[in-house]
Amino acid sequence: MLLENGQDHLFRDWPPPGVDDDHKKAFFDQLTLLDSSYPGGLESYIKNAKRLLADSKAGKNPYDGFTPSHCALKCTIFFRDNVRILGLTMGKCVPTGETLTFGDENYINFEETGVREARKAAFVLVAGGLGERLGYSGIKVALPAETTTGTCFIQHYIESILALQEASSQGSISCLCGESQTKIPLVIMTSDDTHGRTLELLESNSYFGMQPTQVTLLKQTKPHGHGDVHSLLYSSGILKVWYDAGLKWVLFFQDTNGLLFKAIPAALGVSASKQYHVNSLAVPRKAKEAIGGITRLTHSDGRSMVINVEYNQLDPLLRASGYPEGDVNCETGFSPFPGNINQMIIILIRIALKHHMALITCDNILFKQLILGLGPYIEELSKTGGAIQEYKDASKTSFKSSTRLECMMQDYPKTLSPSARVGFTMESRHATLLMDVRLLYLVMETWLAYAPVKNNAEDAAKGKNAVLALDSLLKCMQFLIELDWKGVPKGNPYHSATSGEMAIYRANSIILKKAGVQVAEPVVQVFNGQEVEVWPRVTWKPKWGLTFSRIKSKVSGNCSISQRSTLAIKGQNIFIENLSLDGALIIDAVDDAEVNVSGSVQNNGWILETVDYKDTTEPEVLRIRGFKFNKTEQLETKYSEPGKFHLKA
Ligand code: UGB
């Protein structure tokens, strides 16, 4: 079959029989696995690849017939009158969703609802990506999110889920009856590149406190994009298990966003309170920033939809549709197309239509189901095997190394048959049904929700994050545009290890300020060629600061933190009252220990020093962020026994 499909180059340089036979057999084992796991087998994969490469070379526009426009909601509204978080309901695309201000009563209520609802949630982390752009040799989930405590991303995610689990179980009926606490399931999608090391990381750290049975690793059989998550959830049977267990929400998230769990309680609360079927988180987006843009697409036949257009497709699409400037910032300094951060909360519901379960996922699926009377998600997946439409962004048909197709999890709606076209119709006969549909892009402020770690130091400093993929797409779609590096707007987010870590300190400092602590203003410093705000290095365990109301309940009196300070809170019941911090303070306590901290801490602290990313004498995790801490002096206390304690500095 491979020979018949033009893949004879695979065997051209094979050594004679008897030499390297084990490798040859292993290669065929791989082929067999791929053949059985790809819908239609390897022959189908090769045909799809050839077709997509030909389309790409011919400059075929994947959005043929669609005209992009930004939603009626303009970015000016995002920031009007202290508006912090704004819902874009799909469809009419007017701001009829939720308008939240971080920390106000409404926000706190949503957070509390979200925490309660977490009992009925399952989490899905897509972590099969190589992180090629980051240039880090380890798996990305093993990378420290911040280096004050050295907590890696997977540990932070697991501890956040455990904190939600514990908080959501408190006061629940099952707990009052003495039944075991609800265990929130976590699925991690891995790949050949990440599977072994992910498992090893979990096992060697006792799953960071999670029960091993709570965690399921589902391995992609090829580097094929995060879209594989749908087919894996389907084929593994796990969706059915969750449904039978009475779960209601599935939350998808990515591998290196250290802020995400700050936004999750409120976002889940919005979903639960308003019964949104799909709730995709978004942030204001800088023009050409490497995150997908939420766009209204209107087809010449009248169809219209609001959907993510991937960052490497948006600018060329705009230029080809009468916007010669492409994707540019508007008067607010942001693109009118908000950014998709690939965090979706999806509801598992019953639909009376067919008297059976439907899993509503991804943009627009409910529209398709209702309008076209399609079966539910699981039934839908049974037709396609969960295959997601792939893409290939290259201008060439011959390659120095093997090429591959990719698919994206947010593209699920595009997998349906032509009769089940993506989007919704405005025809009046569907009006009633549309009224019942509740899909939301929840736009959150970036400082709270989004700080991914994706780019290496050099590219981040040059602003290449914004145009890396655009460059290849421009070629592939043959849009004749001249764009050079200088054309990239300065000030676009770096999406690097440097900015990712600093964003955590910034968010924690801002939250403490909102809770009443006097936190010193940041200074601007340059690390690895990137200008970043440096706030006091404040970190806490998710179980200490799961929601804003919990944080507020643990901070009181007249507290202050100087800019050069480090504060690491490593216990659940640590209460800070009338504390003045100028230096480093590290407090560690077991859950049953209640510690009250007050007084004045003054010491030489942890001094921030620069690290050159080319300096190979430094560890890689420090080189990629461009700084390290010289731990000169600190007050460090540890409480390992239950009881009440008072630390008076
Ligand atoms: N991933 C896999 O699990 N398997 C794979 O085969 C590939 C990836 P990238 P990118 O929010 O920041 C996405 O490479 O290109 C996992 C959205 O498409 O980081 O930056 C991988 O491990 C874009 O719309 O994605 O773009 C990682 O966890 C925008 O939302 C995740 O998939 C952007 O992310 C994403 O992989 C963003």
* Helix (H), strand (E), coil (C) string for 374-391: CCCHHHHHHHHCCCCCEE
Two tokens, residue 66? 């669609």
- Structure-model confidence comparison of residues 434 and 629, the more confident one: 629
Burial annotation 367-384 (CB, 10 A radius, 16+ → b, else e):
bbbbbeebbbbbebbeeb
Cα 435 to middle of ligand 1, angstroms = 32
CA nearest to 92, candidates 246, 286, 296, 254: 296
Q: How many CB atoms lie within 10 A of CB 434?
A: 19
**Nearest protein CA to atom 24 of ligand 1, as residue:** 292
Q: Is 251 exposed, middle or buried (0-12, 13-18, 19+ CB in 10 A)?
A: buried
| Bridge partners, 305 (sequence order) | 297
- Structure-model confidence comparison of residues 147 and 236, the more confident one: 147
Please check the confidence at residue 314 and state whether its pLDDT lies above 80: yes
**Nearest protein CA to atom 26 of ligand 1, as residue:** 291
pLDDT in tens, 148-203: 999 999 999 999 999 999 999 885 544 444 445 589 999 999 998 999 999 999 99
pLDDT at 171: 57
3-state secondary structure of 101: coil
CA nearest to 577, candidates 646, 513, 508, 507: 646
Rounded Cα distance between 442 and 448, Å, is 13
- Structure-model confidence comparison of residues 362 and 46, the more confident one: 46
Atom of ligand 1 nearest to the CA of 308: 24
Cα 457 to middle of ligand 1, angstroms = 19
- For residue 206, what are the contacts with CB-CB under 8 A and spacing of at least 6? none
pLDDT at 494: 93
Rounded Cα distance between 351 and 44, Å, is 34
Substitution site in 139, 192, 254 for ligand 1 pocket (most atoms within 8 Å of beta carbon):
254
* Number of alpha carbons in the 13 Å side-chain half-sphere of residue 323: 17
- 209 vs 212, 322, 575, 586, CA distance in Å? 9, 54, 23, 21
Its CATH architecture, for the domain 497-648, is: 3 Solenoid (2.160)
**376: amino acid identity, one letter:** P
Q: Is 137 exposed, middle or buried (0-12, 13-18, 19+ CB in 10 A)?
A: exposed
Q: Is 321 exposed, middle or buried (0-12, 13-18, 19+ CB in 10 A)?
A: middle
Atom of ligand 1 nearest to the CA of 311: 24
**Nearest protein CA to atom 30 of ligand 1, as residue:** 341
216: left (phi over 0), alpha (psi -120 to 50) or beta: beta
pLDDT at 549: 96
Cα 68 to middle of ligand 1, angstroms = 23
- For residue 49, what are the contacts with CB-CB under 8 A and spacing of at least 6? 390, 392, 403, 404, 405
Least confident of 261-270, 276-285, 517-526, 636-645: 276-285
Please check the confidence at residue 144 and state whether its pLDDT lies above 60: yes
Q: Is 205 exposed, middle or buried (0-12, 13-18, 19+ CB in 10 A)?
A: middle
Cα 226 to middle of ligand 1, angstroms = 6
Please check the confidence at residue 541 and state whether its pLDDT lies above 60: yes
What number is the average pLDDT over the span 487-496? 67
- Structure-model confidence comparison of residues 300 and 354, the more confident one: 300
Two tokens, residue 637? 């206390």
Please check the confidence at residue 486 and state whether its pLDDT lies above 80: no
Please check the confidence at residue 80 and state whether its pLDDT lies above 50: no
CA nearest to 414, candidates 547, 310, 493, 264: 310
Cα 525 to middle of ligand 1, angstroms = 29
- Structure-model confidence comparison of residues 554 and 250, the more confident one: 554
What number is the average pLDDT over the span 498-523? 97
**Nearest protein CA to atom 35 of ligand 1, as residue:** 254
> Which pairs count as long-range contacts for 377-384, CB under 8 Å and 24+ apart, including other chains?
378/234, 378/239, 378/240, 380/416, 381/230, 381/231, 381/234, 382/234, 384/39, 384/231, 384/415
Q: Can you point out the beta strands (E) in 287-438?
A: 293-299, 304-309, 339-351, 356-359, 390-391, 406-407
Rounded Cα distance between 495 and 294, Å, is 19
**Nearest protein CA to atom 5 of ligand 1, as residue:** 225
Question: Is the Cβ–Cβ distance between 379 and 333 less than 8 Å?
Answer: no
Cα 504 to middle of ligand 1, angstroms = 20
Cα 61 to middle of ligand 1, angstroms = 22
Atom of ligand 1 nearest to the CA of 343: 11
Rounded Cα distance between 190 and 385, Å, is 19
Residue 232, phi then psi, degrees to nearest 5: -70, -40
Question: SS3 letters for 457-475?
Answer: HHHHHHCHHHCHHHHHHHH
Please check the confidence at residue 638 and state whether its pLDDT lies above 70: yes
Rounded Cα distance between 108 and 102, Å, is 8
Cα 190 to middle of ligand 1, angstroms = 13
pLDDT at 611: 97
- For residue 595, what are the contacts with CB-CB under 8 A and spacing of at least 6? 571, 573, 574, 575, 587, 589, 637, 639, 645, 646, 647
- For residue 398, what are the contacts with CB-CB under 8 A and spacing of at least 6? none
Atom of ligand 1 nearest to the CA of 406: 6
**573: amino acid identity, one letter:** N
CATH superfamily of 66-450+461-482: Spore Coat Polysaccharide Biosynthesis Protein SpsA; Chain A (3.90.550.10)
Supply the Cα-derived Rg of the chain in whole angstroms: 25
- What lines the ligand 1 site, CB under 6 Å? 126-129, 189, 191, 220, 223-226, 254-255, 290-292, 308, 310, 340-342, 408, 452, 454
Cα 466 to middle of ligand 1, angstroms = 15
Least confident of 409-423, 432-446, 466-480, 622-636: 466-480
Residue 533, phi then psi, degrees to nearest 5: -80, 130
Rounded Cα distance between 25 and 23, Å, is 5
Tell me which residue has tokens 């676009």. Answer: 492
Rounded Cα distance between 473 and 482, Å, is 13
Tell me which residue has tokens 């606490």. Answer: 181
Q: Is 73 exposed, middle or buried (0-12, 13-18, 19+ CB in 10 A)?
A: buried
**Helix-strand-coil percent breakdown of the chain, rounded to 5?**
35, 25, 40
CA nearest to 307, candidates 462, 168, 193, 412: 412
Average pLDDT, the chain: 79
What number is the average pLDDT over the span 218-229? 82
* Number of alpha carbons in the 13 Å side-chain half-sphere of residue 633: 7
Element (H, E) at 274: helix 260-274
Tell me which residue has tokens 């549909």. Answer: 437
CA nearest to 504, candidates 562, 572, 447, 565: 447
pLDDT at 294: 82
Element (H, E) at 45: helix 41-57
Domain boundaries, given as residue ranges, for the chain: 66-450+461-482, 497-648
CA nearest to 466, candidates 340, 291, 258: 291
Cα 595 to middle of ligand 1, angstroms = 41
| Bridge partners, 519 (sequence order) | 561
**346: amino acid identity, one letter:** I
pLDDT at 101: 82
